[in-house]
Amino acid sequence: MRYIDEYRSGGLARALASELAETMPQDRALALMEVCGGHTHAIYKHGIDELLPPGLELVHGPGCPVCVIPVGRVDDAISLALEPNVVFTTFGDMMRVPGSKGSLLDARSRGADVRMVYSPLDALELASANPEREVIFFAIGFETTAPSTAVTLLRAQALGIENFSVFCNHVTIGPPLKAILDAPELRLDGLIAPGHVSAVIGSRPYDFIASDYGRPVVVAGFEPLDILQSVLMLVRQLAAGRAEVENQYTRLVRRDGNPRALEAIEQTMELRDSFEWRGLGSIPSSGLRLREELADWDAERRYEVPGVSVPDHKACQCGQVLRGLVKPWECKVFGTACTPESPIGTCMVSSEGACAAYYHYGRNRPKRGTVPA
Amino acid sequence: MSEKASRRRPRVRDERITLVHGAGGKATRDLVEALFLEELGNPLLDPLGDSALIDAGGVKLAFTTDAHVVQPLFYPGGDIGSLAVNGTVNDIAVAGARPIALSAAFVLEEGLSTADLRRVVASMAEAAQEAGVVVAAGDTKVVEHGRGDGLTITTSGVGLVDDRVSLGAEKVRPGDKVLVSGTLGDHGMAVMIARGNLELELEIESDSASIFPLAESLFALGEDLRWLRDPTRGGLATTLNELTEASGLCVVLEEKALPIREQVAAACEILGLDPLYVANEGKLIAVVAPARFEEALALLRAHPLGADAQVVGEIEPEPKGLVLLQTAFGGSRVVDMLSGDPLPRIC
């Protein structure tokens, strides 16, 4: 397949891997965090980790839209889905995420009208075609998906479609990265920054990681050669004692991102004072809500939601997995009580979750431990 | 390690049936083993093969049944009628048998167009003729509007087991080769696109067809043909996992060798799906003794339905119970059973 196969060449991969082995410092181990769950998925799917030299470890990060949604927000979503006359629309992955009393899929088997959509615009279309029903869209994701929600809201406003609203759970990538870098537990030498988020926000917002924390950052694409090359770029920086923000994903990412997408977000959403993250707790200025002008399309204003913070299942270690503190297989319930079929935590649900990626693709791997603090 | 000991005991913990139980992955298997087998289990049903093998006074019969629900009823390359015939015919064929006769039970929803029903039944007739079977018995029920999915068809079938072959997961040995008869994922992707909500302008046709001619040509291999399956719901990945679980062996697939149409691969890329998990309705997987794999490949390729046949992998002794894939990139990964419906990724 053109434009895909070029980025999956085994020959180029071998060349990069041997260059990486030569560049790798002999005297120390390195831990690099791939922030984005899409990268985690690609790493295991293509076996990229098997091409890395000894002493180089990839640590999974928090960039999985489904994984970071806390239990309380899932409960809120289910409560909205059970409102009379509501059609609750969601991305497919979110349907299987367990709340404190089951998932949206369970709510559906009890009669809630929960439907999977591929885009918020599909949800809007559903509202327009069914004026007698109330359609709610479960908006989740980082700056990657926020623009499509924003554009949908602007269209709903322009067309005056009143039986449509958004349950907004959009989040921003900067604050959780800062929270992870501020945590004393883990040694991280560099970060592989998410490609699609960066296509929207640009590479500039990562400057603080290089300047304030002295850690190199490389914005990476999602094909296996993108990731391997980004790892090499980070190791080169570390070997040379540099800490800069570099962009490997130049075919999509600009320094200042996509101004039109950012403007759409700005027009429709504003930062919440704080937002609860699974595993990371409440982080100030990290979540987005709809602006006052769009109150009519805001499901949280139109309906009562419980809005209760619910602790994770006691056995679940998604929080530590999302912060890179434990590997999926080190979690006590991994693969036993918690499987993709009956997940306890979000990391086992989403294809971008580290546990699901490891469970599906990585069970043949030697179980290398986490780099200690 | 005994294969039985390594398996977790299946349980159905869910209070209610959800769509996951019908997706063909682990939840489906748990439901079958923990509920249906527990209540209905008997020596004919327990092996959970594609067909039950019945000794009827010295005559060996293959007997199977399949309920067909598909939305939309018509899609490029097929419809629910041809699917209902070919699905059951293929389950008989991969049991090493020649299909003879089918029964068909129709559940019609009030309001269904008679013209559509005729089109479906005519398509069944055509598929039956091609497959060399007759529909020898039937039943019809009509349910109230809103209580059926337009049309569901349940077909059962019997076939005569070919006495040259003796198939089973227990016959598979390390070193055996794994063959597929053609491109993967065509049916599932054709149906997904025909639903019309993906806005993908791709022309992908279902591969729905009787694979009996392909299976029959392989019967000539006798005991060197070890195992046959049709990778329907859950795709190649799920079917091979059933093999590794039953045999306690390992399948190692070579990504570069997997035949996948460019259009199917592109659609899967866009949607974040893996073609290994997408359904096929006109393909077979064969495990063949190493000495005969070239002959098997030639036999498959001699038939138009097997023109794209490939050797895609090999049986190895370890790691037990896993399907592995050597990626084109140079790494490896596990190919797991399907969990839940394949879902498009978010971003």
pLDDT band at B47 (very low <50, low <70, confident <90, very high): confident
* Rounded Cα–Cα distance for residues B284 and B281 (Å): 9
DSSP A188: -
* Rounded Cα–Cα distance for residues B311 and B288 (Å): 10
Whether B272 shows a pLDDT value over 90: the answer reads no
- The shares of helix, strand and coil residues in chain B, as percent rounded to the nearest 5, are 35, 25, 40
B101, burial (CB in 10 Å: exposed 0-12, middle 13-18, buried 19+): middle
CB contact set of B102 (below 8 Å; sequence gap of 6+) = B85, B88, B89, B128, B133, B134, B135, B136, B155, B156, B157
Which pLDDT belongs to residue B201?
A: 78
Which pLDDT belongs to residue A184?
A: 79
Q: Cβ separation of A65 and B347 shorter than 8 Å? A: yes
ipTM of the complex: 0.81
Parse chain B into domains and list their residue ranges. 1-48, 50-161, 169-334
Nearest to A8 among B17, B197, B328 (CB): B328
CB contact set of B8 (below 8 Å; sequence gap of 6+) = none
Residue pair A96/A349 in contact (Cβ under 8 Å)? The answer is: yes
B269 and chain A in contact, CB less than 8 A: yes
Which pLDDT belongs to residue B345?
A: 59
Element (H, E) at A201: helix A195-201
Residues of chain B in contact with residue A108, where contact means CB-CB under 8 angstroms, are 18
Instruction: Report the gap between the CA of B206 and the closest CA in chain A (Å).
Output: 21
According to CATH, what is the number of the domain B169-334? 3.90.650.10
According to CATH, what is the number of the domain A30-301+312-317? 3.40.50.11740
Whether A19 shows a pLDDT value over 70: the answer reads yes
* Rounded Cα–Cα distance for residues B265 and B263 (Å): 5
Whether B59 shows a pLDDT value over 90: the answer reads yes
Closest-approach residue (CA) in chain A for B321 = A364
Q: Cβ separation of B18 and A105 shorter than 8 Å? A: yes
The size of the A-B interface in CB pairs under 8 A is 119
In this structure, which CATH number among 3.30.390.50, 3.90.226.10, 3.40.190.10, 3.30.1330.10 belongs to the domain B50-161? 3.30.1330.10
Query: Which amino acid appears at position B243 of this protein?
Result: L
Q: Cβ separation of A364 and B332 shorter than 8 Å? A: yes
Nearest to A66 among B13, B324, B346 (CB): B346
Residues A31-79 have pLDDT tens digits of: 999 999 999 999 999 999 999 999 999 999 989 889 999 999 999 999 9
Residues A310-339 have pLDDT tens digits of: 988 888 998 888 888 888 999 999 989 998
Which pLDDT belongs to residue B48?
A: 87
In DSSP terms, B56 is beta-bridged to B59
Residue pair A249/A43 in contact (Cβ under 8 Å)? The answer is: no
Nearest to A92 among B13, B322, B343 (CB): B343
Which pLDDT belongs to residue A369?
A: 52
Residues of chain B in contact with residue A46, where contact means CB-CB under 8 angstroms, are 327, 329, 331, 333
pLDDT mean over A164-193: 93
Alpha-carbon B248 to chain mean position: 21
Residues A224-279 have pLDDT tens digits of: 999 999 999 999 999 999 999 999 999 999 999 999 999 999 999 999 999 999 88
Instruction: Report the gap between the CA of B347 and the closest CA in chain A (Å).
Output: 7
Which pLDDT belongs to residue A246?
A: 98
A-interface mutation test, from B199, B238, B347, most A Cβ less than 10 A away: B347
Residues of chain B in contact with residue A13, where contact means CB-CB under 8 angstroms, are 329-330
Residues A179-218 have pLDDT tens digits of: 999 987 778 999 999 999 999 999 999 999 999 999 999 9
Which pLDDT belongs to residue A372?
A: 41
Which pLDDT belongs to residue A320?
A: 87
B22 and chain A in contact, CB less than 8 A: no
* Rounded Cα–Cα distance for residues B272 and B270 (Å): 6
Q: How many CA atoms lie within 13 A of A273 on its CB side?
A: 0
Q: What are the start and end residues of each CATH 3.40.50.11740 domain in chain A?
A: 30-301+312-317
Residue pair A168/A142 in contact (Cβ under 8 Å)? The answer is: no
pLDDT band at A154 (very low <50, low <70, confident <90, very high): very high
What tokens were used for A289? Answer: 């809500």
Residues B140-154 have pLDDT tens digits of: 999 999 888 899 999
Closest-approach residue (CA) in chain A for B198 = A118
B11 and chain A in contact, CB less than 8 A: no
Whether A137 shows a pLDDT value over 80: the answer reads yes
Q: What is the mean pLDDT of chain B?
A: 92
> What pTM, to 2 d.p., does this model score?
0.86
